[in-house]
């Protein structure tokens, strides 16, 4: 119980050299994975359409195969993803005891984003799962390496990650404010995942796992950077 209280109330600490190095390495790993897609990913569906038969998809994920690519859903998912980032920024500055604590929250958010990106690209290059719309027309959509990055959803994982940061930043706020942030976080994460599915960009399992990864990485990064409790912090600042 004491550890949980410390995790919720403690002030985050950012070590410029160590954490800066982690951020650079994670960003380079993310970029390297993205840049190597064309040389690593095999366009299986274009060469063997039978491998991308709809019958190979489980019954839950088939909900993403209702229609071809939907432009509106795809673009709305960018809005909800970006809104998650805005929520994290607003919560950090609204509920942090000092301005520099808010900036620390944002620095850790950026670090977690790079780590999530690096992990995501590594998983995508390993799994190489075709996007839902590829199954609807393998010969037409199966040639592009970018169409084999369905697992897992980057939009949903970032939305969940940013929203988790927002929730953690608001844990010492008034109960009504905490509830508002929590509701907004759940809504934005769910909306982003739903729009990625309805836009035929991802399967349900892609967004579900993406949301889980976002939450786990956000909590892990926060947990590794907890310092003093806010009460102690205030006392030592007087």
C-alpha angle with apex 193: 188 to 194, nearest 5 degrees?
Answer: 95
CB 120 within 8 A of CB 213: yes
User: Could you tell me if residue 175 is inside a domain?
Assistant: yes
Share of the chain above pLDDT 90, in %: 72
Distance of alpha carbon 2 from alpha carbon 192, whole angstroms = 34
More confident residue, 89 or 238: 89
User: Could you tell me if residue 72 is inside a domain?
Assistant: yes
For the chain, what is the mean pLDDT?
90
User: Could you tell me if residue 38 is inside a domain?
Assistant: no
Instruction: Read off the CATH number of the domain in which 108 is found.
Output: 1.20.144
Closest by CA position to 128, among listed 226, 18, 28, 47: 47
């970029």: which residue's tokens?
A: 31
Distance of alpha carbon 30 from alpha carbon 26, whole angstroms = 6
- pLDDT band per the 50, 70, 90 thresholds, residue 233: very low
User: Could you tell me if residue 34 is inside a domain?
Assistant: no
User: Could you tell me if residue 48 is inside a domain?
Assistant: no
User: Over the stretch 26-52, which tens digit does the pLDDT of each residue have?
Assistant: 999 999 999 999 999 999 999 898 889
Distance of alpha carbon 95 from alpha carbon 65, whole angstroms = 42
Q: Which domain holds residue 127?
A: 60-237
User: Could you tell me if residue 44 is inside a domain?
Assistant: no
Hey, what are 206's tokens?
């892609």
Is the pTM above the cut of 0.75?
yes
Tally of structural domains, the chain: 1
């994670």: which residue's tokens?
A: 26
User: Could you tell me if residue 26 is inside a domain?
Assistant: no
User: Could you tell me if residue 196 is inside a domain?
Assistant: yes
> Would you say residue 211 has pLDDT above 60?
yes
Distance of alpha carbon 189 from alpha carbon 180, whole angstroms = 14
Interacting residues of 193 by C-beta distance below 8 A, sequence separation 6+: 153, 155, 156, 159, 202, 207, 208, 210, 211
């Amino acid at each position: 119980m004491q550890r949980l209280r410390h995790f919720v109330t403690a002030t985050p600490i950012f070590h410029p050299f160590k954490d800066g190095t982690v951020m650079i390495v994670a960003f380079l790993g993310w970029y390297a994975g993205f840049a190597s897609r064309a040389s690593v990913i095999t366009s299986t569906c274009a060469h063997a359409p039978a491998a991308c038969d709809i019958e190979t998809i489980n019954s839950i994920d088939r909900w993403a195969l209702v229609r071809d690519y939907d432009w509106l859903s795809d673009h709305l998912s960018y809005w909800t993803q970006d809104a998650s980032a805005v929520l994290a920024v607003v919560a950090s500055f609204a509920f942090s005891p000092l301005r520099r604590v808010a900036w620390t929250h944002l620095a850790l958010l950026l670090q977690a984003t790079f780590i999530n990106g690096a992990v995501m690209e590594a998983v995508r290059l390993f799994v190489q799962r075709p996007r839902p719309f590829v199954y609807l027309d393998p010969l037409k959509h199966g040639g592009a390496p970018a169409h084999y990055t369905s697992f897992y959803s980057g939009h949903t994982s970032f939305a969940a990650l940013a929203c988790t940061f927002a929730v953690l930043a608001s844990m010492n706020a008034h109960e009504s404010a905490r509830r508002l942030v929590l509701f907004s976080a759940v809504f934005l994460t769910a909306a982003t995942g739903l729009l990625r599915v309805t836009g035929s960009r991802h399967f349900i399992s892609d967004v579900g796992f993406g949301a889980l990864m976002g939450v786990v990485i956000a909590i892990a990064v926060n947990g590794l950077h907890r310092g003093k409790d806010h009460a102690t912090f205030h006392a030592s600042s007087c």
